[in-house]
Amino acid sequence: MSSLDTQTRGRTSRGRLRALDAYLCHAERELLSRRDGPWARAVFVDVGFGEHPWTTLESAEAFRALQPELTVVGVELDAERALAARAHADAKTHFRQGGFELPLGDDEPVRLLRAMNLLRQGPPERVPEVHRTLGRYLLPSGLLVEGSADPTGAILTAHLLRRAPEADAPLVREALLFHTDFSHGFAPLLFRDWLPRDLRRRVRPGEPVHAFFAEWGAAWEAARVSGHTAPPDAFHEAASRLAARTGDVEADAWLLARGYLVWRPREGISP
């Protein structure tokens, strides 16, 4: 265990990260399916799968629809959870005990790394180092997804961090993903308590994430005033207005119709 690793509870639930799987299959199709050069061996790693490996197995199924040969590695700090998960292992699905210094072989470059609901406790100051540590395992242009979701996955946010193409370049804080299934209605501030660890206390004046929520809130109010009152409709209309006004929000129809908003400021998500 390194100094960055800390024991946490293992709560998870079936389907909690399904919406994230669907987003990745839509938006990262090439990342998940490419097989040129080292990508032929490149794995998906789910860090901290919890007391049951359900989300890892669900992602394996979703991603293999795009790339049937995909190797999936679930990593868990808790030795008993890692051992119990081995009952679900097969030739392409592995469960290993380990922490942020990932237990991977030299022949296992990483295309996609997911670390969901691991950093909710602990100081926000350790987050950049966790990102840096995990990012070292990614192939150039590989993706780290780190964030939080509520217990059922109805509300989810995640950093999308990309390894730059140049060797040894730092991770780029490319975008912030928001998703809701509308079961709790919708207002932009619904996401505040489920922001990634390093942003949760940053929704305050002077911070870019605060300015973003203010703009989103104003677009949402304007959408409702103009008759878009049902939560999915208000979400769609507000995001479309925001995309048209700022250019920092993706206007992809598939995303907006399904409760996904991707905030991709030109300057990246500030650390």
161 or 242: CB nearest ligand SAM: 161
Q: Would you call 144 helix, strand, or coil by DSSP?
A: strand
In angstroms, give the least distance from the CB of 130 to ligand SAM. 8
In angstroms, give the least distance from the CB of 127 to ligand SAM. 12
> Is 223 within 8 Å of 245 (Cβ atoms)?
no
18 or 34: CB nearest ligand SAM: 18
Question: Position of tokens 């995303």?
Answer: 255
Q: What residue number has its CB nearest to ligand SAM?
A: 48
Using alpha carbons, select from 31, 4, 17 the residue that is nearest to residue 151.
Answer: 17
118 or 209: CB nearest ligand SAM: 118
119 or 234: CB nearest ligand SAM: 119
In angstroms, give the least distance from the CB of 69 to ligand SAM. 24
In angstroms, give the least distance from the CB of 122 to ligand SAM. 9
In angstroms, give the least distance from the CB of 251 to ligand SAM. 29
78 or 207: CB nearest ligand SAM: 78
Beta bridge partners of 76: 97
How many C-beta atoms surround the C-beta of residue 94 within 10 A? 20
In angstroms, give the least distance from the CB of 32 to ligand SAM. 18
Copy the structure tokens of residue 53. Answer: 């490996």
In angstroms, give the least distance from the CB of 186 to ligand SAM. 22
118 or 219: CB nearest ligand SAM: 118
For residue 175, the 8-state DSSP code is E
> Is 134 within 8 Å of 115 (Cβ atoms)?
yes
Distance CA 47, CA 132 (A): 14
Distance CA 116, CA 125 (A): 17
Residue 223 burial by Cβ neighbours in a 10 Å radius (0-12, 13-18, 19+)? buried
Residues of this chain that bind ligand SAM (CB under 6 A): 5, 8-12, 16-17, 47-50, 55, 75-78, 81, 99-100, 116-118
9 or 184: CB nearest ligand SAM: 9
> Is 112 within 8 Å of 17 (Cβ atoms)?
no
Distance CA 92, CA 167 (A): 28
Question: Position of tokens 């006004």?
Answer: 245
